[in-house]
Amino acid sequence: MADFHQNGSVATLHNLAQIPFEQLEAQLKQFAKTRKITLILPSLYSELEAPALSNILDELSKAEFINHIVIGLDRADEAQFKHAKEYFSRLPQKHDVLWNDGPRLKSIHEKLAGANLAPEEPGKGRNVWYCMGFALATGNSDVVALHDCDITTYSKEMLARLVYPVTNPAFAYHFVKGYYPRIADGKINGRVSRLLVTPLLLAIQKTCGHNDYIDYLNAFRYPLAGEFAMRTSILPDMRIPSDWGLEIGVLSEVWRNLSNRVICQVDISDAYDHKHQPLSEEDANAGLSRMSIDISKALYRKLATDGVTLSNATFRTLKATYFRIALDLVEMYYNDATMNGLHTDRHVEEKAVELFAANIMKAGQSYLDNPMETPFIPNWSRIQAADPDVLLNIHKAVQQDAAEFG
């Protein structure tokens, strides 16, 4: 059973197992009559060939509280898009597939790129951004939720708990972040969150002094969770990164735009597992190595906007402070795992800490070399100001793709 601890910064909604799921779902169905829920699924075509997504669709087919599902499809040719249309056709809810590599959406992307308004690199951030634009274009949602397509332990209860806080009209929340224990197959997972983000945030506080933004991030039980939901009304002003810093970037935008009083986190599952990225020690542009650099840079950029001065000396001190804190945490995780009959490999975990420590410096050098880098994609309010017809054109392109290839 979960605890009931509140951190005092953002509200934590626990799963204390005192209400049957059927009762919570019945309430959600009632709320969803007046607060329509759209779910965004950013997907690579390759994920259609894995068992995780098939199970997700089985569960979603039973989620009667979802009004609309928007699927962003990346890395698909024409034949694969046709297959994807057939693959997702089993969903009983209204659903649309954005063929991001198709000629119509690529034409819109190239027009935006010509005005320096498009995401600069492909990936999850760009996929999510276009899905958000399409959700705004449809004009039929009050709540937008998002989760990945590689969750192997998925259930509709997970989604119901995620959207409940921003769908219940008695709650004031505008944004909710999901969290869960990262335990599977007798192991503690979540390496980047445990071994990079947690000790890095502690090291920043120790090195740079107290910072309200770092306190805010520290309040989240799992800041890198890819599951979150929000009121649709805040979408137009959300600037999201196109790199691996997406989750931290979204939390940063929420911090900038909203009061903590309307932000919460919710326990959505007792068990969670998904596709694991390799550490990628030999290639800094792949796997968890790339992720650790992008996340570190996202934090540095946000600290700079809060007036924190960053230098080579800062990053050297930060690396040393992080390294000591992270090694202490490795021992804590090991002891916690041992007492609960779980496994962690201390040698592997310390190797990860060594890689992340080096990448903290690489990210710092990258930030100093290019302080004008702007990985955030412009928000949809700015895009519409520059091109008032863009959302209509995206909606039309998706509908034309569906009609031609459906």
Give the per-residue SS3 of the chain.
CCCCCCCCCCEEECCCCCCCHHHHHHHHHHHCCCCCEEEEEEEEHHHHHCHHHHHHHHHHCCCCCCCEEEEEEECCCHHHHHHHHHHHCCCCCEEEEEECCCHHHHHHHHHHHHCCCCCCCCCHHHHHHHHHHHHHHHCCCCEEEECCCCECCCCHHHHHHHHHHHHCCCCCCCEEEEECCCEECCEECCHHHHHHHHHHHHHHHHHHCCCHHHHHHHCCCCCCCCCEEEEHHHHHHCCCECCCCHHHHHHHHHHHHCCHHHEEEEECCCCCCECCCCCCCCCCCCHHHHHHHHHHHHHHHHHHHCCCCCCHHHHHHHHHHHHHHHHHHHHHHHHHHHHCCCECCHHHHHHHHHHHHHHHHHHHHHHHHCCCCCCECCCHHHHHHHCCCHHHHHHHHHHHHHHHHC
The pLDDT of residue 39: 98
| Residue found by looking up tokens 């990860």 in the block | 352
The pLDDT of residue 335: 96
The pLDDT of residue 282: 64
Q: Give the start-to-end residue ranges of the domains of the chain.
A: 11-405
The pLDDT of residue 17: 76
Exposure string of 330-341, with b = 16+ CB inside 10 Å and e = fewer, is beebbeebeeee
Q: Do residues 48 and 83 touch, judged by C-beta distance below 8 A?
A: yes
CA gap 390, 351 in Å, rounded = 47
Q: Do residues 296 and 197 touch, judged by C-beta distance below 8 A?
A: no
CATH of domain 11-405: 3.90.550.10
The pLDDT of residue 28: 97
0.85 surpassed by pTM: yes
CA gap 132, 126 in Å, rounded = 10
CA gap 30, 22 in Å, rounded = 12
The pLDDT of residue 104: 97
Q: Do residues 167 and 37 touch, judged by C-beta distance below 8 A?
A: yes
Q: How far is CA 323 from CA 27, 242, 248, 292, in A?
A: 47, 28, 21, 14
The one-letter code for the residue type at 80 is Q
Residue-level pLDDT, tens digit, the chain, 406 residues: 567 889 889 999 999 877 899 999 999 999 999 999 999 999 999 999 999 999 999 999 999 999 999 999 999 999 999 999 999 999 999 999 999 999 999 999 999 999 999 988 888 889 999 999 999 999 999 999 999 999 999 999 999 999 999 999 999 999 999 999 888 888 888 899 999 999 999 999 999 999 999 999 999 999 999 999 999 999 999 998 776 678 888 999 999 999 999 999 999 998 787 766 666 666 656 678 888 998 999 899 889 888 899 999 999 999 999 999 999 999 999 999 999 999 899 999 999 999 999 999 999 999 999 877 766 789 999 999 999 999 999 999 999 999 998 6
The pLDDT of residue 244: 67
